[in-house]
Every structure is written in C-alpha cells, then in structure tokens.
Amino acid sequence: MPNDLTRTTRARDADREATCAVLDSAFADGQLTAAEHDELTELAAVAVTLGDLEELTFDLQTEASLPVLRKEPSLDTRWIAVVIIALSLVSAIGFGIKYAASDVTIFSSPEPQLHTVDGLGAMFHAIETEYGSGLVDEM
C-alpha cells in the first residue's frame, strides 16, 4: 500500500505527528524561526492530505522518514501518450492500405494528353465509341 500514496491521499494522525517531528527537528537545527515553526505546526495539525503535509516540509533538510509519495502523471503527459499512440495507429493503417493497394492497377494505359494531336484524336474516338457519332445535332 505505501506505493499507492499520492498527494491526494488523506493524511492520518501518525502522518501529522511525523510532520510535526520533522518541523521540531528543523527548528532545533536552526532551519526555522520560532514564528515559522509555530505557523507550520498549526498547519500540520489541520492538514487534510499528504500533499498538504509535503508542502510544509519540502524545503527542509531532514533525516526523518515521511511517507514517500508516488508521482501522478500530469494530464499533459497522458495526452501526449494518447496522441503518440493515435498517430502511430493511423500511420500503420495508412502504410497498410498503401502497400495492400500497391498491386492494384488503376489505369491500363497512360491517360492521353488532350493538348496533343494524339490526345485529341483519342478523345474524339472515345466520344464516337460512346455515342456513335461526334457530331452535335442540337445545342
């Protein structure tokens, strides 16, 4: 269970007492003034979460053992991971489609170039084949 402790885990009385012991030690070592010690001790007594207690002691040098909190991944880290996975999936699907369709021949011959004599001839031939004649009766 100690690995499941986060900043939002509710503090126990034992956690508050351990924090007060750290504050007492810091005061005895000269890291805190009497006014700072009194203020921080009062805040430790009413702290609700382990994160609240951690904020009171994060800048103190101490050898006392306080609960080790597990870092929660930030929302940004989660979104970056989701985006990377989604992009990888889309890329894999795209490459799969590309390689699966690479054997398919769409045009049996190159398209005629309509700005050339041969291209215009091919177009007129296609019109005559489709409609039987290239003549326009009505407009």
- In a domain? residue 67: no
Q: Which domain holds residue 111?
A: 106-134
Alpha carbons 69 and 9: distance in angstroms, whole number = 9
Residue 125 has pLDDT above 60, yes or no: yes
Taking the C-alpha atoms of residue 37 and residue 48, their distance in angstroms, rounded to an integer, is 19
**Mean pLDDT value across residues 9-22:** 91
Place of tokens 């031939």: 125
110 lies in the same domain as 94: no
The residue behind tokens 């503090």 is 11
69-124 residue pLDDT tens: 666 655 667 778 888 898 999 888 887 777 766 665 555 566 667 788 888 888 88
- If one counts the domains in the chain, the total is 3
Same-domain status, 95 and 130:
no
Residue in 84, 70, 93 with CA at minimum distance from that of residue 5: 70
Q: Is the pLDDT of residue 32 over 50?
A: yes
24 and 36 part of one domain: yes
* Farthest-apart Cα atoms in the chain, separation: 109
- Res 106: pLDDT: 55
Q: How far apart are CA 90 and CA 70, in angstroms?
A: 33
Q: How far apart are the first and last CA of the chain?
A: 86
User: Do residues 57 and 22 touch, judged by C-beta distance below 8 A?
Assistant: yes
**pTM for this predicted structure:** 0.49
Q: Is 66 a member of any domain? A: no
pLDDT(1) > 50: no
User: Most confidently modeled of 51-55, 67-71, 125-129?
Assistant: 51-55
pLDDT, greater one: 100 or 8: 8
Question: What pLDDT is stored for residue 42 in this prediction?
Answer: 95
What tokens appear for 64 in the block?
Answer: 């006392």
The counts of H helices and E strands in the chain are 5, 0
**Is 7:49 a contact under the CB 8 Å cutoff?**
yes
Residue 30 has pLDDT above 80, yes or no: yes
Q: Is the pLDDT of residue 63 over 80?
A: no
Check residues 18 and 66 and name the one with the higher pLDDT.
18
Percent of the chain with pLDDT over 70: 76
How far is 86 from 80, CA to CA, in rounded Å?
Answer: 10
